[in-house]
Amino acid sequence: MVPMIVGSLERGIDAMAAGDWFALLHPVLMILFVYPVVGATIRLGILVRERRLEINPLPATVPVEHVDHGRWVTTGTVVAVLIALGWSFAVRAADPLLPPPGGTRLAGLLLVGAGTLISCGALWRVRVAALRAAFALLCWAGLLGLGAQPEIRRLADDPRLAVFWRSHYWSGVLLCGLLLFTMAAKPEIQSVPAMRRLHVAAAFLIAVLLAVQAITGSRDLLAMAVGGG
């Protein structure tokens, strides 16, 4: 069985086109950038707790570095998801057996994608709580709207189905929502104990979802390689 899979992968690599290499951009960004920064963010979060509890006399720059790393994790993940959605849409839209998306619809989706990216970037700047919440929701809504297109592979949309919980798309969307929440709620996390506890719970779930993303993403890439697309 293993030699058959290896042989299929070797043939797939030889036959890879430009679009196939673009398909790898999303996982490469996650592996080379997001996951290493996640590790540093977790380590800095532990140091922030030690500083707050006066376990370790660390400099005041540690919390700032923790926040900055968290921002980069969120932004990198949103960018990676947008790339993945764009690739999925392009592959299905190029299928001659399916109706073309149409110029008006395509322009609208591009505007939504740009608005999603701008909303994520705005979270780096805005300070007012209502604006932070609004931009975080706009960014997440943009991802959901783009992901709701019929060209996007989601496995299932009904959470009552077991296949829904094996979907790479839905775990990725939930991951982005949690990351956007932690980025938007930074001042409240720093000042409100209840929000800090909620942040710790969200961080634990984020770690689990990152592991799920790695597993389901590898599964889908292997299926694409073996199946030829």
Domain borders along the chain are: 2-227
Which of 123-127, 129-133, 168-172, 218-222 shows the lowest mean pLDDT across its residues? 218-222
The whole-number pLDDT of residue 17 equals 61
Which pTM does this prediction carry? Answer: 0.88
**Average pLDDT in the 46-57 region?**
88
C-alpha dihedral (126, 131, 134, 138), degrees to nearest 10: -30
Query: How many percent of the chain have pLDDT more than 70?
Result: 89
Residues near 218 by beta carbon (within 8 Å), at least 6 away in sequence: none
**Concatenated DSSP letters for 157-172?**
S-TTSGGGGG-HHHHH
pLDDT score of 4 more than 60: no
The whole-number pLDDT of residue 132 equals 96
State pLDDT tens for residues 137-181. Answer: 999 999 999 999 988 888 889 999 999 999 999 999 999 999 999
The whole-number pLDDT of residue 6 equals 46
